[in-house]
Structure formats: structure tokens, C-alpha cells
Amino acid sequence: MRTIIFSLLLGILLINLVSADIIIDKQPNQIYNLGDSFLIPITIKSVTEVTGIFQMNLICGGQEINFYKNGVSLLSGEERKMEPFIILTKNLIGESKGICKIKGIFLEEYTLTNEFEIVNLIDLKIKNEKIVFNPGENIIIEGDAIKLNGKSAEGFIELNIVSDNSTENINQLSTIKNGYFAINITLSKNIRAGSHLIKLNAYEKDYLEEITNTGTAEYEILINQIPTNIEILFENNKVEPGTNVKFKTILHDQTGENINSIAIITVKDENNKILEQTDIQTDEFFEFPISYNEPPLEWSVVAVSNKLTSEAKFKINEKQDVKIELINKTIILTNIGNVPYNKIVLIKVGNDSLNINTSLKVDETQKYLLTAPDGEYKVEIFTEEGSIITGMATLTGKTIEVRENSVKVFSIVKYSVVWMFMIFILGFVVFIVFKKGYKRSFFGYIHSKKKENVKHTPFNKTSLIDVKNKAELSLSLKGHKQNVSVVCLKIKNFDEIKSKKTNVGDTLQKIINLTEKEKAATYESGETLFFILSPTKTKTFKNEKAAINIAHQARIILNHHNKLFKQKLEFGISINNGYAVIKQEGNTLQFMSLGTLALTAKKLASFYENEILISEEANEKIKSNFKTEKKQDKNTIMYVLGESKNKDEHKKFLTNFLSSIEKEKDNKK
């Protein structure tokens, strides 16, 4: 029994004596990328003579893969240094990634390295700062590609552009060298305006052409909406005289999408004479009236926006039409068409029919006399257009007939006494006027003649005002680009007042006079007046104070009018700042509005009544000197003008203006 126990103890002792120590001389780095390779230096020591197999395994996520084996034979007290080498490729380590360790094993002994991570990521950093581009523009996208182990990537990078749910036909492949990439692409000229996402996909390959490390990045860009053409669209390009021609302008971008902008439209007749010129919003219909007697000709419409021009033509249809009146026994025919009327008019008197072979020029009137044996008859008149006039007439004569009604000589003789009396009265009036005119002083006569020769320029036939400093909107102008201040006055009930005899014209003329003192040029567009303060006229680049002065005084004048007169004025006033192309030609200021200068001013003037509204651009110019209150109507931001921050200056302004009104009243008395 003792012999057995002794043998066991000896065996255990011998086993301990053949054990060896495994020492890891250098721990792995914290992070490795796929494709990396590294050494794991070790030292094996033994106090006895040993022989065996040394191996190293990679342990990741519970999976153990052997990558190194080597035979080791050591004498007693001998040590051996070894440098096992591991390559992190898929064919060697498979899909092993994440937190890993390396295990060294010799005989019954083993040791473990510190934990480290195996990754397959590349970090992409884009250097571009510019994000807004035009269609057709060339872009160079550059950046760095660094692996998570801190080393530069060497591989490839692929680019594609994504728009909404579709992919643009832009794909580009380039290389990554020493961690740097640069991709040169040219945007399509027809690329859609708006936001686009550029996706970058970087990757490396091993010697077996298998992808190892990858990285992605996204770069959002904005494509400008560039106007490429302007179109004029008629509701009907064949227009009946006496109706309106209706059309709109459509501004297209690089993909044919509509652009919301301002267009200057001009309506011209067959001789290229300008009949109407104004600025309108694109994509909104504009109507221009065609007179009932306008000849059947071809007119044109010219539209200009964003340096693009388009012209379209429309035809005025030929129209033969006649107006029929039956007054007692007289038939009156008037040509209300736009061409000579040469058709037959059928007249039925009782059961008898008569024809009139008409020959009427445009607007010509001809009277016809009906005769029939004494009695009352039913008269019916038919035209080839389908018009029917029916009435009862008391007729006299021998036979039923119709003839042209002519003035007889005896009628003049019959009323000769009346004519002589009228001639006498007329002669007496001429005598009195001549006598009074003759007694005037010579100097007074000369003075009045000079006064008559001073001509103001009315804007149009129905304008209520005369101006000296006139402004005209130009389609295409070569001049100076200037920062201007614009005051906009909108008379909201203009259509109501223009047809009535009121004092409105005098009130508006007062405003015109004060604007001319400030050297403003006046442009009239329907119910709207624009007062333009440009450096060309005012000789200063700071016109904001003059604009506020005009707006304040105009409001006082209009409120004063509404207190005195029954015919009230509904008005809005606004101020805007912006750029325009300016050219002075004689007494007329030619201008071309840039951007939404005129449109914004016109839009603001249509909001709050009896307030002075300021645009965002104008507010930036005046907010240091005037109080303003911010307002918002849907997407429109505006500011209500308050009093001056310099109260003494504000008080002085009101006092001076009110005293000028009192002086004007005294002068009239």
C-alpha cells in the first residue's frame, strides 16, 4: 500500500517539474481593422527538460480559431522567444469580429492576452463647405478616409445622388490613396431644383478581392431653381371684340417646373404700339379689354422675367353685328361690329315682308321710315345673326314700303326763326367774352399764356393726377443698378371713385406735389402709385428718411380728405427697399424692378388700412431711428411703422406739416 501512495506522489511531482511558463512580451493594440496583421511576441521558460506543441488561438464571441502551431523542445532552465504572426483576413479568421483575445497554449499551461477589438469600419470626413449649386455645375467632393485603427484607408469610394425616392443618373467611382479621396462630378443641366442627398460608400479589398473594411457618409446639397424659359398661355388666342383677352405667363425652371416670380407684360397692337404695360405675378391670369369695334387684326403680348423674353400673338375675330331700334315708324340700324355690315335685314309689316340691303361702316347709323295704309301694325325685324325685334307701330301712307329717312329742306325753313334766335344768343355771348378779354392788362394776358403752356404729364386718359417727375417701367434696360426706396400708395376703392366727379383728384395731386419736393419719381399702375426715390434723382444713397416723410404726409393728407368729404378713400401705404436698374431720360425715370421690389411693396399696401407697413428690407434700414411692430399674415412678414425714437424730431415734423396745410388753406381763401 505504501508503495502505491509513493508512486502517485512521485508522478504528481514529475508532472509539476515538466510544467513551463508562457510570457506575453507585448500586448496587442486596442483596435484592429480587417486586413491588419500583427506579431504576438512570447517567451517560454521551463525548469525541466520539456518537449511539446505550442499553439495560439483567436477567441471572439465564444468562437475559438487556431492560427499558429509550432513544436518546442527545451532543456532544463532554457527559454525560447517566439513571434507568432496573425493576419486578420476572412479566409483565416472567418467572420470573427468584435471583442477578442488571443490564447497561448503549451502542454498543460496557457495564457491570455488583453482584450482588443476587430472592426471593419472606415471613418469618412467630407471637407466641402459649399452646399448650394446650379444645374450643370462642376463639383469636386473631397475628404479623408481613416480606419478606426488610425491608419489611412487604401481602396475605393463610390458616389451616387439620391433625390426624394428616386436616384439621379449620377454614379461615380474613384480611389482612396493614403486616406484621401476627391471625386469630380458634373451635375446634369436638367437636375431638379431642391434638396439632393449625395451618398458616399468607401471600401477596401483584400488580395482575394473580397471587401474588408467599409464606411459611408452623406452630404446634402441644394440645387438652385434657374429660369430657362418663359411662356405666354392664352385662355383663347382668338378673341371676340367687346370681350377681354385673358392670358398668363409661366416661368419654367431647368426641369419645366413653374417658378413663382414677377413678369413685365406688354400688350401691343398691329403697329407695335404699346397699349398696356404692367408687372404681374406669374401663373396668374391677366385680362385686357378689347373694344367692340376693334378691327380684326393680330396683336401681340410680350413677357419679360429674369432676363428671359417671350412673345405670343392673338387674333381679334371678325364680327358683323347690328343694333336695331324701332321708334314709332322709324327703324334705326347701327353697326356695332368691327367690320362693315352688308347683310340683309328682313322686315315684316303685318303679313308683308320687306328687305333692307344694308351697307353700314363701323359705328355708322342709318334710319329707315316705314309706311303703310293708315293703321296699327305688328312689325318684326330679323337679322342674319338671328336677332329678332318685335313691336307695334302706327303707320300712315299709301303702300307698305321702307325707305331711307332723309332730312328735308323745308324743315330748316320751318324752324328758321329758332335758328336765328340761337345765332343771336351765340353772337351775344362771343361779344361779351371778347369784351372782357380785351380789357385785361397786357402783362396779365402774357402771364396767363405762359401758365397755359406749362404742361403736366397725365398717366393715361382716366388719370386723376398730373406729374412732372414721371417714372416708366421698362422691359429691358441698360442703366445703373441702384438701391432705391419705394413708397407704395394703393387706393383700394379706385374703380368706384374714378367714374365720379369728386375732390379725389385734388387730394392725390397734393401728394404728388409733396413727393416731387422730395425728388421722387411717380409710376402709376391702375389703383397703385409708386414713388421711387433713387440716388440718380435725390443725389444721396440714404433715401429711407425721405420715404418715411412721404408716407407720413400722404397718410395725413388722406385722413384729412376723409374727414372733409363724403367720398371716402380706402387706402394702404407701404415702404420697401431693394435694387432696381435706373436710367434717366429727359424728365422721365426709366426703371426695371429687380427681384420682388415692386411686388412686395404692392402686396404690403393691400393689407392693413390706415397703417404704414414696412418690409423686412426697409425695417433693417430704419429700425435704429424708428419704432416698428412686427406683424405676420400667413407667410408674409411685415412691420408697422411707429413714431421716431427722436421724439423732438417727430414733434417738429408734425408741427411743420400741419402749419403748411394751414398756409395752403389761407392761400386758397
- Write the pLDDT tens digit of every residue in 582-611: 988 888 899 888 888 888 999 999 887 778
CA distance 574 to 551: 8
Q: Is 165 a residue whose pLDDT tops 80?
A: no
11-20, 21-30, 87-96, 633-642: which has the minimum mean pLDDT?
11-20
Residues 487 and 555 in one domain: yes
- Name the percent of the chain lying above pLDDT 70: 84
Whether residue 502 is contained in a domain is answered as yes
Q: Is 160 a residue whose pLDDT tops 70?
A: yes
Which carries the bigger pLDDT value, residue 267 or residue 171?
Answer: 267
Residue 66 has a pLDDT of 93
Residue 496 has a pLDDT of 79
Confidence label for 5 from pLDDT (cuts 50, 70 and 90):
low
Residues 481 and 604 in one domain: yes
Residues 330 and 304 in one domain: no
Helix axes 544-564, 647-668, angle to 10 degrees: 50
Residue 418 has a pLDDT of 53
Amino acid letter, 99:
I
Residues 617 and 564 in one domain: yes
Whether residue 394 is contained in a domain is answered as yes
Whether residue 440 is contained in a domain is answered as yes
Q: Is 420 a residue whose pLDDT tops 80?
A: no
Tell me: the pLDDT tens digits for 114-150? 999 999 999 999 998 888 999 999 999 999 999 999 9
**CATH number of the domain that residue 364 is part of:** 2.60.40
Residues 398 and 501 in one domain: no
CA distance 528 to 456: 19
Whether residue 4 is contained in a domain is answered as no
At 564, which helix (H) or strand (E)? Answer: helix 544-564
E strands of 551-635, at which residues? 571-585, 588-593, 612-614, 626-633
Whether residue 364 is contained in a domain is answered as yes
Query: Count of residues for the chain?
Result: 669
Whether residue 260 is contained in a domain is answered as yes
219-233, 420-434, 503-517: which has the minimum mean pLDDT?
420-434
169-183, 398-412, 507-521, 614-628: which has the minimum mean pLDDT?
398-412
Residues 352 and 495 in one domain: no
11-25, 262-276, 282-296: which has the minimum mean pLDDT?
11-25
Residue range of the domain that includes 436: 407-445
Q: Is 11 a residue whose pLDDT tops 50?
A: no
Domain count, the chain: 6
Whether residue 14 is contained in a domain is answered as no
Which carries the bigger pLDDT value, residue 74 or residue 387?
Answer: 74
Tell me which residue of 616, 505, 485, 635 sits closest to 551, measured CA to CA: 485
Whether residue 458 is contained in a domain is answered as no
Tell me: the pLDDT tens digits for 308-352? 999 999 999 999 999 999 998 899 999 999 999 998 899 998 888
Residue 428 has a pLDDT of 66
Residue 169 has a pLDDT of 65
- Among 270, 291, 316, the domain boundary falls at 316
**CATH number of the domain that residue 661 is part of:** 3.30.70.1230
Tell me: the pLDDT tens digits for 475-519? 666 788 889 999 999 988 887 777 676 778 888 999 999 999 999
Which carries the bigger pLDDT value, residue 163 or residue 570?
Answer: 570
**CATH number of the domain that residue 93 is part of:** 2.60.40.10
Residues 624 and 585 in one domain: yes
- Determine the distance from the C-alpha atom of residue 626 to the mean position of all C-alpha atoms in its chain, rounded to a whole number: 30
Amino acid letter, 498:
K
Residues 477 and 556 in one domain: yes
Residue 441 has a pLDDT of 33
Which carries the bigger pLDDT value, residue 302 or residue 376?
Answer: 302
- Among 298, 316, 334, the domain boundary falls at 316
E strands of 336-478, at which residues? 344-349, 352-357, 365-371, 375-382, 388-395, 401-404, 457-458, 466-467, 470-473
Residues 572 and 473 in one domain: yes
With DSSP H G I counted as helix, E B as strand and the rest as coil, what are the percentages for the chain, rounded to 5? Answer: 20, 45, 30
Tell me: the pLDDT tens digits for 435-481? 544 333 322 333 333 333 434 444 444 466 788 889 988 766 678 88
* Distance between first and last Cα of the chain: 153
At 594, which helix (H) or strand (E)? Answer: none
**CATH number of the domain that residue 262 is part of:** 2.60.40.1930
Residues 304 and 326 in one domain: no
Residue 252: which residues within 8 A CB-CB, separation 6 or more?
Answer: 227, 228, 229, 230, 231, 258, 259
CB 141 within 8 A of CB 230: no
Which carries the bigger pLDDT value, residue 430 or residue 445?
Answer: 430
Exposure string of 225-237, with b = 16+ CB inside 10 Å and e = fewer, is: bbbbebebebeee
Residues 45 and 178 in one domain: no
CA distance 80 to 72: 8
217-221, 252-256, 411-415: which has the minimum mean pLDDT?
411-415
Span 543-556, average pLDDT: 93
Tell me: the pLDDT tens digits for 240-270? 999 999 999 999 999 889 999 999 999 999 9
Tell me which residue of 288, 298, 283, 270 sits closest to 232, measured CA to CA: 283
What one-character DSSP code corresponds to residue 468?
S
Residues 278 and 346 in one domain: no
- Among 157, 192, 223, the domain boundary falls at 223
Residue 313: which residues within 8 A CB-CB, separation 6 or more?
Answer: 237, 298, 299, 300, 301
31-35, 87-91, 97-101, 168-172: which has the minimum mean pLDDT?
168-172
Residue 50: which residues within 8 A CB-CB, separation 6 or more?
Answer: 18, 20, 72, 73, 74, 107
